[in-house]
Amino acid sequence: MDTQNITRKVMLVGETLVGKSSLIRTLSAGDYSPRRAMAVEYHGRFINTPGEFLENRRFYNALITTSADCDVLLLVQDATRKNSLFPPLFASMFNRRVVGIISKIDDPAANRERAIAFLRNAGVKEFYATGIISGDGLDELRRALA
């Protein structure tokens, strides 16, 4: 399935270095290169938000405003992290379909159950576990976003 022909806009939210850019690069056939500036980046159907927008509450308004441009919001949680910056019921701030992405499941230190618990606490009800290196879960995610 060619994800470039799908018109649904997808916005990714997560901490710095959780794998948002890698996910966009993989889902868009490898032609994405992030600029690492603290700015929202648009690439085809994807909207990449800086990790700092989640890490600093004063930028939540920027996330809410930017979400007006998307159909689906992906909250990305790194499965190797022992904490999460998603506050309780964070997903309820957005009037969009919110999907939880558990990233880095192919890492030996990954803990899927902990990542799912963090995302559930944030109000997410739909989850996909992905591993960019192994390719696990990517086809299922592509179908879900179609």
Encode pLDDT of 71-109 as tens digits. 999 999 999 999 999 999 999 999 999 999 999 999 999
pTM: 0.92
- The tens digit of pLDDT for each residue in 2-50 reads 444 446 899 999 999 999 999 999 998 878 887 767 899 999 999 999 9
Burial of 60 (0-12, 13-18, 19+ CB in 10 A): middle
In order of their start, the domains of the chain are: 3-145 (3.40.50.300)
Phi, psi of 76 (to 5 degrees): -100, 120
Q: Do 8 and 142 touch, CB atoms closer than 8 A?
A: no
pLDDT at 4: 47
